[in-house]
Amino acid sequence: MTAVTSTDAPLDGGPFAGFDLGAFGEPARRAILEASQDFRDVLAGRKPSFARTDVDAPLPADGGSHGYVGRGYRLWVCRSLSSFGGVDGYVYGPVLSFDQDIAPGNERSLAATRFYTAAQLHALLAQA
């Protein structure tokens, strides 16, 4: 796992776009930075850079979803077989859930899923 600091890559393109890392205290800063990078990785069709496979996650039976765990958060990569208007495909994207000590409020999850045809999802994953 690569070490990160508050001067590393900005949060742009992730769930905290437009925020200054200095606005967050520790340990939230590290969790938010790493989770944001993992979020961007999944949006681009890549595996997460920081979170590792969650060996305690239930086995999915939905088309290929996968659970990961990071420092202060869990990442669910949704890859669920779906159909919209007679078009078959997948709902794909990251779902972040932060630990209570990072996000003590009622809602601690952020997500960015979208519908892809099989060909679109294959192209996204192949380019990564």
Whether 47 maps to a domain, the answer reads: yes
From CA 85, how far away is CA 89, in angstroms rounded? 11
Q: What is the mean pLDDT of residues 98-102?
A: 93
Q: What is the pLDDT of residue 1?
A: 43
Question: Does 3 have pLDDT greater than 90?
Answer: no
From CA 116, how far away is CA 60, in angstroms rounded? 19
Structural domains in the chain (count): 1
Whether 95 maps to a domain, the answer reads: yes
Range of the domain at 30: 21-127
Backbone dihedral angles phi then psi of residue 43, each to the nearest 5 degrees: -60, -30
pTM to 2 decimal places: 0.87
Whether 59 maps to a domain, the answer reads: yes
Whether 5 maps to a domain, the answer reads: no
Q: How confident is the model at residue 7 (pLDDT cuts 50, 70, 90)?
A: very low
Percent helix, strand and coil across the chain, each rounded to 5?
Answer: 25, 30, 50
Query: To the nearest whole number, what is the mean pLDDT of the chain?
Result: 89
Q: What is the pLDDT of residue 10?
A: 64
Q: What is the mean pLDDT of residues 67-91?
A: 96
Whether 66 maps to a domain, the answer reads: yes
